[in-house]
Amino acid sequence: MKKLLSFLLVFALALPAFANEGMWLPLLLGRNYEDMKAHGLQLSPEQIYDVNNGSLKDAIVSFGGFCTGEIISNQGLILTNHHCGYGQIQSHSSTEHDYLTDGFWAYEKSQELPNEGLFVRFLVRMEDVTNRVLDGLNDDMTEDERAKAIAEIGKTIAAEATEGNHYDANVQTFFHGNEFYLFVYETFNDIRLVGAPPSSVGKYGGDTDNWMWPRHTGDFSMFRVYADKDGMPAEYSENNVPLTPKHHLPVNVTGVKDGDFTMVMGYPGSTDRYLTSWGVKEQIELYGPAVVRVRDLKLEIMKKYMEADAATRIQYASKYARVSNYWKYYIGQTEQLQSNHVFDKKQAIEKKFSTWVNADESRKAKYGEVLEMFADAYAETNKSVTSGVYAREAGITGPELALQGLRFGRTMKAYFQAKGMMEASEDEETKTQMGDRLDAIIDAMKANGEEFFKDYNPSLDREMTAGLLELYYNDIPKAQHPEVLTAIADSFDGDFKAYADSLFASSFMASKESYMAFLENPVDSVMDADMGIALGEGMYAAYMGANDNAEVDDKLEKAYRLFTAGLREMNPNKNYYPDANSTMRLTYGTVGDYDARDAVHYSHYPTSEGILEKKDNDDPEFVVPAKLETLIKTQDYGNYANEEGELPVCFIHNTDITGGNSGSPVINARGELIGTAFDGNWEAMSGDINFEPEIQRTISVDIRYTLFIIDKYAGAQNLIDEMTIVTKPVKRGSWFSRIF
């Protein structure tokens, strides 16, 4: 069940495609090309996806594995969302240099800031390997045996694709194990921060406006890809140079109009559109509310400490944003699943499926038990889904000390095992080699400690530990309490504050000084007795135990695999798309307004005037910088105003996106950048489970507002100068010959 109840959901219902519904693999774009042309596309398929020549795909990157970015200059300049670069902006911030509050701009390349651990990944090619994988499977396999066989075959195919080159590769599963594709990537690890507006621009509206329309948010940040002198991936070095990409996106500042063609290319994370009515009911009644309850408390505690201390505000800014985003997401999803009657829509699909199956004996033999399998499996998961959420949200990802203790303990156990082997060895060369390995482990753990404690407040985490464990204890039935929670309650008579006080007073994991002191003289008995490490191990066991029901997992996986295959067989003339799984996709549609509810109509764009209408400098979410206010009041918009003299800030269009698409380029019919996608709209928060064609919208920053902030607000003319700016529409052929 863990694959259906975690953030790792990657496959879902591929419904009949509207022009604006579907997350399409670029390799299979031929299935949609005529429809795209009919809606205004002026590019050839090869200009979108080509293995041998530069194409749009070569300007799109997976940004850190969690967002999307686009290359917008021939010097490797990346544009993505502010919230995608937020962790890096925060990591470079301090009370002396508060880039979160003030913004950051590199006016020359020597000022750009490196980011350890950040990478971007370019797609080299993709390939359909379905037949090769299926040849290694058979109907007698259990789902577990099938998964293991798929993994082994995938490893073999990936190894062949990367032999003799520097690429990465993997084989991904689509349509619940019915199709398989190979993806080959080129990964760059020297990525530097170039520019970011202040949070009062990049996060304007904060949690209040998140997922809402209209938006007035300049949600963008800028980075640069560096490579060695030969253009090859390399670790950070002062000798590295900006990457010359195979393709970069021209930037069009002529603006968008209602009905304009748009397409979005990026790396959507996961959707769940194959979720059945039983799954929808579980999401509404159990899963979503459980996530919200735990995150309510997390946010309350973090906010209290952040408001009391500037250093803590900077330390926890990125952590708070991560928790908050999906806190509000699940509030909205639960509400809109009900408002949009998704349960009823799923039941209608299942009714048609049942009728189709029962009309043919061979279909009954293959698919006849599928719906019953769903009913039986969800009857079991309903009993434990809430405890599974708490094991993750209040347990292993709850107290920071717990997860850090788990990681530290696992690494140091390997250290002590290696130390014992070294001491037992009589070979001096072996002892020397193992001694070097031990030193490397200690150095790595010291570096890990520096990174962890840089953004850690023990007082905050102590209160978080007490609060989350008490919530876990009170909300989950005692029969489902993990051993660690029961032991803590028994030892401290249910006083979780007393436990937290004891934990933080005794564990060497609770402070940088005691952590580093242990590493100077590691003793295994001290580590084994540490309460912080014990909490981490206990919470990990709780998480794994809450998600360990192999029989139910197998039943659900088989049911979804057969259900997916059956639906596609039932509708052979429909163009199905695979659900999101962090692989490159293209979605297309048009700019357009919508009716949110009775008597509420939303235009397709807001202007900078709305920024001042929302302004409240006593509310951190709606602070307007003085310089920006002056620029708006004087209408000093430069070349970025529209024909009416307004400065558009954002726009909406009916493309199909989800998490992971954040930072994705919005591209016009000619392959030019017109905006950056960053959100969806509240009325369609059920869209990851069921696309809502009438009301579902992508919210994007208008590229004109982005350039206005870079140019007029930040004065970073150096960045404007390296872009290819399109100031008026060009005839087909003239631009392509220069760019492609």
Residue 731 has pLDDT above 60, yes or no: no
Torsion 435-439-440-442 (CA) sign: positive
Element at 114 (helix H, strand E): strand 113-114
Residue 498 has pLDDT above 50, yes or no: yes
Distances (CA, A) of 220 to 189, 245, 501, 615, 675: 21, 21, 41, 20, 10
Nearest partner of 529 among 543, 508, 552, 498, judged by Cα: 508
pLDDT of the residue at 729: 60
Mean pLDDT of 180-191: 98
pLDDT of the residue at 7: 31
pLDDT of the residue at 549: 86
Instruction: Output phi, psi for 126, to 5 deg.
Output: -130, 155
Residue 8 has pLDDT above 90, yes or no: no
Mean pLDDT of 16-20: 48
- Strand ranges for 445-593 from DSSP E: 585-590
Q: Which residue has the higher pLDDT, 733 or 508?
A: 508
Mean pLDDT of 226-251: 97
Residue 18 has pLDDT above 50, yes or no: no
Residue 20 has pLDDT above 70, yes or no: yes
- Gap between the Cα atoms of 149 and 65, Å rounded: 26
Strands 77-80 and 67-71, sheet pairing: antiparallel
Residue 716 has pLDDT above 60, yes or no: yes
Mean pLDDT of 463-473: 98
Q: Give percent of the chain above pLDDT 70.
A: 96
- Gap between the Cα atoms of 110 and 691, Å rounded: 46
Which of 83, 216, 247, 653 does the annotation list as catalytic?
Answer: 83
Residue 15: strand, helix, or coil: coil
Residue 87 has pLDDT above 90, yes or no: yes
pLDDT of the residue at 728: 72
Burial letters 536-558, b for 16+ CB under 10 A, else e:
bbbbbbbbebbbebeebbbbbbb
Can 199 be counted among the known catalytic residues? Answer: no
Q: Which amino acid type is present at position 86?
A: Y
Can 83 be counted among the known catalytic residues? Answer: yes
CA atoms within 13 A on the CB side of 279: 28
Which of 50, 98, 190, 219 does the annotation list as catalytic?
Answer: 219
For residue range 519-557, what is the model confidence (pLDDT) as tens digits? 999 999 999 999 999 999 999 999 998 888 889 999 999
Residue 10 has pLDDT above 70, yes or no: no
Q: Give percent of the chain above pLDDT 90.
A: 91
pLDDT bin (cut points 50, 70, 90) of residue 6 is very low
Residue 714 has pLDDT above 60, yes or no: yes
Residue 507 has pLDDT above 90, yes or no: yes
pLDDT bin (cut points 50, 70, 90) of residue 33 is very high
Prediction pTM value: 0.92
Q: What mean pLDDT value characterizes the chain?
A: 94
Residue 273 has pLDDT above 80, yes or no: yes
Residue 702 has pLDDT above 50, yes or no: yes
- Gap between the Cα atoms of 610 and 700, Å rounded: 16
Mean pLDDT of 123-142: 96
Mean pLDDT of 252-281: 96
The architecture that CATH gives domain 14-119+189-273+580-740 is Beta Barrel (2.40)
Mean pLDDT of 142-169: 96
For residue range 622-644, what is the model confidence (pLDDT) as tens digits? 999 999 999 999 999 999 999 99
* Block residue for tokens 């009993």: 383
For residue range 601-628, what is the model confidence (pLDDT) as tens digits? 999 999 999 999 999 999 999 999 999 9
Residue 587 has pLDDT above 50, yes or no: yes
Which of 662, 664, 686, 700 does the annotation list as catalytic?
Answer: 662
Query: Which residue stretches of 29-85 are H helix?
Result: 33-38, 45-48
pLDDT bin (cut points 50, 70, 90) of residue 25 is very high
Bond from prior residue into 214 cis (ω within 30 degrees of 0): yes
Structure tokens given for 327: 């806190």
